[in-house]
Amino acid sequence: MLPNTGKLAGCTLFITGASRGIGKAIALKAAKDGANIVIAAKTGEPHRTLPGTIYTAAEEIEAAGGKALPCIVNVREEQQITDAVEKAVEKFGGIDILVNNASAISLTGTLETPTKKVDLMMSANARGTYLASKICLPHLRKSNIAHILNISPPLNLNPIWFKNHCAYTISKYGMSMCVLGMAEEFRGEVAVNALWPQTAIHTSAMDMLGGAGVEQQCRKTDILADAAYCILTKPKSFTGNFVIDENLLREEGIKNFDVYAVAPGHPLLPDFFLDVDPSTLAMKMEAHGASPVFREGKKIESAKHEGPDGAESAAAKPLGPVAETFKIIQGAISEDVVRSTQGVYLFELSGDEGGTWYIDLKNKAGSAGIGEPPVKVDVVMSMSSNDFVKMFSGKLKPTMAFVSGKLKIKGNMALAMKLEKMMTQFSSKL
């Protein structure tokens, strides 16, 4: 792990959402240097399901060697931010670093996202980041350290990151656009950067989204704390960057990333907004035992409850036969199968689980999931969902399905003929 250097000794960090999770991890890392931490978060009384308050976080920060100022702050309330900043300046003499970590999430489609959830995400994520930055900036400009760090993703304009949760993506990208604008506006005075994880991080929000077993596919918050520390100890000239934690730490000489894993050696989930689309991400979760709430997305209407920061979640329904089949296919895909097949298959299914699904046995390590693949399709196959399940379980031969008219094929027939051989490898696991 990245060692502390003492460079943040005596510095004052204003961290939103620092009562738990990533915000608290960053606070504890800085506290080891002897930093002053303003814990700007909503939780003053113990939450019914979530761990920690601003006061328990303050105790941990002081035990780690720092000084703490717990402040009740909802980043949607301008006056609460202003009051906390004034208290911080009075107690510590100024503010050197702002970490915009507080965030709300609801991974739901446009028609399924209540207006109050849209308002929550826009005001907490984009507006809250903007306000906290605006209020802290006059003090940051007086500091020799002068950093703003937003926990937000690189701006990836692939439509796949918008279509399933448009409001959430807009709100998180609003945080990232604050980086673009403010880095240029205050260049030379205040460094402004974004930090995002390469893999899923085990937090209360991830437990909510991924379900039981997801923690084994995650890294600890320590990796983001180390990456944040690395950024915040750089000079002001390091600005306008969208940093991925693992990439930065590799540049800093970290080689053993198992120390950051919840379950060393276990496959890790890539995080949102990077190279792996949501459908593939969901399939990877399910292949290793987790049942992501966002997988059902638009379909779930019941068993909803409030999650971290008011985020909406829902109990995942049991997988249907098609989804269960794809779950097993995803887990069975290997480099040998990809190397020997070299094809991308799109399935247009009708019936109870009708819809579009795909199997990519051509690119990288292969993938499978719901929706259209992010790459060019070689073969399109149309059939009923019932016949699809029979075909992949070995109860219906692809050749017979085609001859009898149950299966229609468009595209590369040579690749289509490889299907039967490929299915024998999958059917043994179905």
Q: Give Cα separations from 376 to 42, 156, 346, 348, 373 (angstroms).
A: 46, 20, 10, 15, 7
Q: Is 168 noted as a catalytic residue in this protein?
A: yes
Place of tokens 């909406």: 312
Phi, psi dihedrals of residue 39, rounded to the nearest 5°: -90, 95
Distance CA 121, CA 103 (A): 7
DSSP, collapsed to helix, strand or coil, labels residue 296 as helix
Per the DSSP assignment, residues forming a β-bridge with 368 are 359
Distance CA 50, CA 270 (A): 24
Residue whose C-alpha is closest to residue 402's, from 412, 387, 421: 387
How many residues are given for the chain? 430
Would you state the structure tokens that stand for residue 374, as one six-digit string?
């992010």
DSSP, collapsed to helix, strand or coil, labels residue 189 as coil
Distance CA 175, CA 386 (A): 45
Candidate list 168, 173, 345, 358, residue with the active-site label: 168
Q: Give Cα separations from 207 to 50, 217, 380, 414 (angstroms).
A: 11, 11, 36, 44
Sheet architecture: strand order including 242-244:
67-72, 36-41, 12-16, 97-100, 147-151, 191-196, 242-244
Phi, psi dihedrals of residue 261, rounded to the nearest 5°: -80, 140
* 8 Å CB contact between 369 and 326: yes
* 8 Å CB contact between 244 and 231: no
Place of tokens 């950051």: 260
Return the exposure string of 377-391: e unless at least 16 CB atoms fall within 10 Å of the residue's CB, then b: bbbbbebbbbbbbbb
Residues catalogued as catalytic = 168
